[in-house]
Amino acid sequence: MKLATWNVNSIKVRLPQLLDWLAAARPEVVCLQEIKTEEPKFPRAELKAAGYEAAVSGQKAYNGVAILAASAAVLADVQEGIPGFDDAQKRVIAATVSGTRVVCVYCPNGQAVGSDKYDYKLRWLAALERYLEAELARHPALAVAGDFNVAPEDRDVHDPKAWEGQVHVSEPERAAWRALLEPGLKDAFRLFDQPEKTFSWWDYRMRAFRRNAGLRIDQILLSQDLAERCRGCSVDKAPRRLERPSDHAPVVAELSD
């Protein structure tokens, strides 16, 4: 099965691109971030017509996540948020699809190192770590996909010198990201040889996409069971080339049955 993650930066604006991409890529599961809409306004009917069911955790204007599953599959045991972590921001939704536990995450941005939002980001990542450890104990087939807002290594950054110490690459954030993997998760992208300078996000400004001035901040983390079944993982840059694109590109992992 094909499992994907895409920060669409508004489901309303990006719906035509999402529908085109689903028709072309035909993933079985898609984790969406920054849908920026409340659940009642989520375009269920359009996605249903395209062959997808959805589990949605939305809010007005900001954040919001969803999991799409090809209609033949069932979205079971849907859970919103991180249990025990009180948070008004809708950043996490989980569901079980065809025996695989899927956790869709939109990690906080962090704004600037040392800011209140940065502290919130670190607290949020620590809470996510505890949650994922518990999920892993319950679900041997676990996939955690989303926008982590952390570039794990310098090779995930177009200009490590310019970014040194900045939010998204600071050592506390990277340590928090690595801690997510410790209970037994692998970064699917790094299971394979990859082209250098592969990124998943490019700033809208300064012609960043044309210069490939990006960061690899969107990832798919796989439990050992799923990592062994993983046959490939790549970034699909095609949607980023379109008119009025999301600033993020989809990341796709291929899992054998």
Catalytic residues: 106, 147
CA distances in angstroms from 202 to 170, 209, 234, listed in the order given: 18, 5, 16
Shortest approach of DNA to residue 31 CB, angstroms?
A: 14
Would you give the distance in Å from CA 246 to the centre of its chain?
13
Q: Rounded distance, CA 168 to CA 111, Å?
A: 9
Three-class DSSP category at 67: strand
Residue among 116, 159, 203, 228 that touches DNA (CB under 7 A):
203
Shortest approach of DNA to residue 196 CB, angstroms?
A: 19
**What length is written for the chain?**
257
Residue among 36, 90, 101, 240 that touches DNA (CB under 7 A):
36
Contact call for residues 52 and 26 (beta carbons, < 8 A): no
Binding mask 158-197 for DNA (x = CB under 7 A): ----------x-----------------------------
Which region among 75-83, 103-111, 126-134, 190-198 touches DNA (by CB under 7 A)? 103-111
91 lies in the site for DNA, by CB under 7 A: no
Helix then strand then coil, in percent of the chain rounded to 5, is 30, 30, 40
Q: Which is nearer to DNA, 71 or 111 (CB)?
A: 111
Structure tokens at 2: 């094909």
Residues 6+ apart with CB under 8 A from 64: 11, 33, 34, 35, 36, 37, 38, 56, 57, 58, 90, 106
Among 255, 248, 256, smallest CA distance to 6 is for 248
Residue among 2, 10, 184, 254 that touches DNA (CB under 7 A):
10
Which region among 59-67, 73-81, 122-130, 225-233 touches DNA (by CB under 7 A)? 59-67
Residue among 16, 48, 49, 62 that touches DNA (CB under 7 A):
62
Which region among 33-41, 129-137, 153-161, 189-197 touches DNA (by CB under 7 A)? 33-41
Name the residues that contact DNA, by CB under 7 A. Answer: 7, 9-10, 12-13, 34, 36-37, 60-62, 108-109, 111, 117, 147, 149, 168, 201, 203-206, 215, 217, 244, 247-248
